Amino acid sequence: MGPTQRELIDAIVADASDRGAWGVYADWLIARADPRGELINLELAIEDGSAGPDAENQVERLNREHALLSPRLHAMAHAWNFTFWRGFIREAKDAGPLVDVPPESEAIEAVEALFADPHAGLLEEISVRHASFARALVACTRPTVKTLTMRNPELGPQLVNLPSLETLDVGSSERELDDIASPRLRWLCGRISSRLGRRLSAALPALESLRSDIGALDRLQHERLRELYCERCPALLGAFELPVLESLSCVVEHADLSALEGVYRRPPPSLTNVSLHVSRPDEAPALVATLADLPILRQLRRVYFSVCTPEILAMIRARAVAFQHLEDLAIGRWGFLAQQSDSDLATALPFTVVSVEVE
């Protein structure tokens, strides 16, 4: 007696890199006229370069087959958009319009049917917009989920039910993430509370990248954070405790640079990449001049200014000595400046790769 379907699926889930396990399962499926077997073989052939010219079209056709879903999940297929990989569900996004809020019972069944599907064992990425879907998702343990997009920061405490979570995006919600703990989370996008900012290392010990509006925070501390993207960066500048920070991107005003004692004047030695998104273009030339005098500039390798005017270009040229050590200088500018020659800027910075991005 050979292995059961459950045993074959479990072998793949246990080690998805084992092509032999995939081949055995594909043969088992083909012997039972299941189109998923053909799909697996086609994708394996595409990956190793042995597929025929029409293989990708065949994969696209087979991925639309309703036979890829269990009967229970097929009944709730209207609630989801799926991305498949070798016949297994890899990604699921709730499909309903934002204005059409599903009943709680329907959301629960949609989520439970998804995770009950035999081929959801490799499901890693989920995006949910409705609160009812998010509540159903975090209501019990979902060990495979690595990436989650949702708009419900208040569900932070229940993220313990996603033990493999590495990426969390709660967007620009006005509500703050506060009581959250996730041992493997590496990337976070969302507004965080002052309390979470002070205990960020303990709550999210693996965090490496944070995108947040941190203007109201009085302190931000983390031992492993390497990238920080913030919408506002005022008083916090004096309260950075980010010893391995490498990249900082923020909306900044000239006053932030000139008046505050913080990361700009006492930067962590690892910081080499700074992007400045200027809120007032008329202040940008003065910001460039101030940056040229700050200690932080001497250790940077790449600088990005989000907006450019002729005055900013003239200021960079005038202070070129301060910028000549940079490896890259990127400047975003509006279309009406797109035709202006930058040859003189390149001449002023001969060892720097200068790029001008038309916005």
Quick one: DSSP state of residue 352?
A: S
Concatenate the DSSP letters of all residues of 203-215 into one string. HSTT--EEEE--T
Let me know: does 70 contact 60? Beta carbons within 8 Å: no
Residue ranges of the chain with per-residue pLDDT less than 50? 234-236, 260, 335-339, 341, 359
State residue 339's pLDDT score.
44
State residue 97's pLDDT score.
65
State residue 358's pLDDT score.
56
Is pTM beyond 0.75? Reply is yes
State residue 336's pLDDT score.
42
State residue 331's pLDDT score.
82
> In 3-state terms, what secondary structure has residue 55?
helix
Instruction: Take residue 238 and report the two structure tokens written for it.
Output: 């004096």
Q: State how far the Cα of 221 lies from the Cα of 156, in Å rounded to an integer.
A: 19
